Amino acid sequence: MLPRIIHIQPLAPSKPVLGQPCNGCGVCCLHEPCPLGILLSGYRRGACTALRWDENRAQYRCGAMVQPREVLRAALPTDLGWLVPVLLPVLRRLAGRWIAAGQGCDCSLEVSPGQPDTQTDRQSAP
């Protein structure tokens, strides 16, 4: 697999070892969506659109679990918005199982810290 750059919140915890408890590092979901993320976003590559950054906990969380109403609204076309209340109980009941919550880290990616993004003001010389 070729190296890929994914942008991670600076305060996110380091990726745990494969099989260790999930700590909300976000690496797996920032790399590609899980089957539920594919269903919700329609994308197979790139960061999952359901992924949410929780500033208070300083960790990533699955939006299908922590913000299911917002995730469903974003996933459905506007004219199907009436389905949100119908699908919400199902998503709340099944999201944890669908993302394998509590099963431990299943992401075998190796993470190498990159250079932090820096922004400087550049002024042209007179």
Range of the domain at 40: 27-98
Instruction: Tell whether 64 is covered by a domain.
Output: yes
Q: Is the pTM of this model over 0.95?
A: no
Separation of alpha carbons 24 and 37, rounded Å: 16
**pLDDT tens digits, the chain, 126 residues: what are they?**
677 888 899 999 999 999 999 999 999 999 999 999 999 988 899 999 999 999 999 999 999 999 999 999 999 999 999 999 999 999 988 888 888 888 899 899 888 876 655 444 434 344
Number of separate domains in the chain = 1
Q: Is 35 inside any structural domain?
A: yes
Token pair, residue 55, equals 């500033």
Per-position b or e across 87-107, b if 16+ CB within 10 A of its CB: eeeebeeebeebbeeeeebeb
